[in-house]
Structure 1
Amino acid sequence: MTCLGSDTVLNLAGLPRTPTVINLWAQWCAPCRAESPYLRAVSADLTEVSFIGINYDDPQPDWALEFADLVGWDYPHIMDPQKELQVPLKVPGLPTTYFIDADGRIAGVHPGELESEQQLRDLTAKYLGVS
């Protein structure tokens, strides 16, 4: 999949085998906007966990890039404007956060808005064993 704001291609299956949090979001999604500070803060603190954003079902990649910059996300984001991941990830809607273990398996899924930094930290500890 193509990285947001560039022509770089990222293969999710080829990522390094480290605990990873993957968050599906869109710039038009109000709950996605509400949880953005929690993702920024926790991703900055948990250096042993990789974070990846997936700009999902978003018709305005320029607006998505602007939003990602405004909220201060400094981890990679890829684009899925055609919802190619909907079936393989069983995406229930936006936002959705996936917790991928070091073996590359989905260890847990949180459908819906993250409501606090602590909730994200608790989910990361629960599913990935990292706190």
Structure 2
Amino acid sequence: MDGGLPRTALLCLGSDTVVNLAGLPREPMIINLWAQWCAPCREESPYLRAALADLEGVTFLGINYDDDKPDWALEFADLVGWRYPHVMDQTKSLQGPLRVPGLPTTIFVTADGKIAGVHPGVLESEEQLKDLAHEYLGVTP
């Protein structure tokens, strides 16, 4: 792993495609761990949707985490307008490798695949997310 994303075999939310986080394309990425049952995850959902449109050159990935209702999760992602890929980690296999403190958690990954920063807890605004992307990834909206 060397400060980067771990090797995984996570299913895409809503399909049978298997994803290896360590094998994702090398580009700046914001990864958000969430669950449909998580009230703070619901609170921050509009900020993630809005920032996606403003942060050019940054890939977004959602990880539906510790959620035993993937159908509800898929419906939630659609309702809040998240138009980026999501994978599932129903068994919390990423808890150790990514040191997930709880939900929501947002992880910032540099173009060379290194984890540059982690924001535990709810994002309070779109501006906060953009500021964190600038701080950790050097991107400017």
Alignment of 1:1-131 (within 5 A): 1-131=10-140
What's the offset of the Cα at 1:44? Answer: 1.8
Taking the aligned partners of 1:70 and 1:44, their CA distance within structure 2 comes to 17
Q: Segments of 4+ in structure 1 off by > 3 A?
A: none
RMSD: 0.5
CA displacement, residues 62-96 of structure 1 (integer Å, 9 cap, x when unaligned): 00000000000000000000000000000000000
Q: How many residues align?
A: 131
Taking the aligned partners of 1:120 and 1:107, their CA distance within structure 2 comes to 14
What's the offset of the Cα at 1:12? Answer: 0.6
Paired letter, 2:23: G
Taking the aligned partners of 2:80 and 2:20, their CA distance within structure 1 comes to 25
Taking the aligned partners of 2:50 and 2:18, their CA distance within structure 1 comes to 26
TM norm structure 2: 0.92
- The structure with the largest helix share of the pair is 1
TM norm structure 1: 0.99
What's the offset of the Cα at 1:32? Answer: 0.1
Paired letter, 2:111: A
Taking the aligned partners of 1:129 and 1:23, their CA distance within structure 2 comes to 18
Runs of 5+ in structure 2 lacking a partner? 1-9
What's the offset of the Cα at 1:47? Answer: 2.5
Percent identity reads: 75
